[in-house]
Amino acid sequence: MIVHLNLASQPFRNRTLPWVVTAVTVCASLVALVLITLETGRTNKEFRAIERDLSEANRQTESLREQAARMNQELSTDQAETLKAAHLLVDRKQFSWSRLLADLEATVPVNVRVTRIRVREVQQRDGQTRSELDLTVISRTPIEVVGMMTEMNRTDIFVADPVAEQTRTDRGQSGTELTLRVYYTPRTVLPSVATDTAKVASSAVTLISNSETQ
């Protein structure tokens, strides 16, 4: 068996590889540091731009509020009432009777009859139309209306509270007439769904009795 021995006074060593690895690591670290510095600078620049835009938006908002306050102070009583009526008219134009009738048809049971609906107030809040209604219904017993109110309050569009109750005779049959204060917030629907809602609402008009038959 032959044994190969390195008897040189300075045995061969690969000194180049460690230096190459070190140089590559240092270069990669420098490149990463440069990239991080550039990205940090870009992020800080965008942040300062957003701060400027936000500050400008706040300044414009405050300016508009001051202008609105000055205009309100300059308005006469009649002009203020006219402006309030105009705002109310705009809000009422956002109110959809077809949506209301369709939602009522889906909620009111067959043993409860709606006789009158009166819109008290319509407001726009957070991009939604919120309405306050007086809803008058007739049923054979108050328990049926209580059940209807429970179902309405379970939805996220109706909140119903009783206001008045009386006993009345309708078409030869005695029953209970209740007036409810209803807060109505319709869901936001897509235009295609709104068309279907209008079709459903056409059948919901049967919920409203003709006042001449009462």
Provide the pLDDT confidence category of residue 93 given band limits of 50, 70 and 90. low
φ/ψ (deg, to 5) at 150: -60, -45
Output the pTM of the full model.
0.46
Distance between CA 155 and CA 148 in Å, rounded? 11
The model's pLDDT over 159-202, given as tens digits with 9 standing for 90+, comes to 999 888 888 776 666 788 889 999 998 876 544 444 444 444 44
Q: Name the pLDDT band for 128 (thresholds 50, 70, 90).
A: confident
Q: Which residue(s) pair with 32 in the sheet?
A: none
Q: How far apart are CA 104 and CA 208, in angstroms?
A: 11
Provide the token pair at 151. Answer: 């179902």
pLDDT in tens, 19-61: 788 888 888 889 899 999 999 988 988 988 898 888 888 888 8
Q: Are strands 173-184 and 158-170 parallel, antiparallel or unpaired?
A: antiparallel
Res. 129 pLDDT band, cuts 50 70 90: confident
* Per CATH, domain 95-213 is 3.30.70: yes
Helix axes 97-107, 142-154, angle to 10 degrees: 120
CB 181 within 8 A of CB 153: no
Residue matched to tokens 């429970």: 150
Whole-number pLDDT of residue 92: 56
pLDDT digits (tens, 9 = 90+) for 1-23: 565 655 555 555 666 777 788 88
134 has pLDDT over 90 = yes
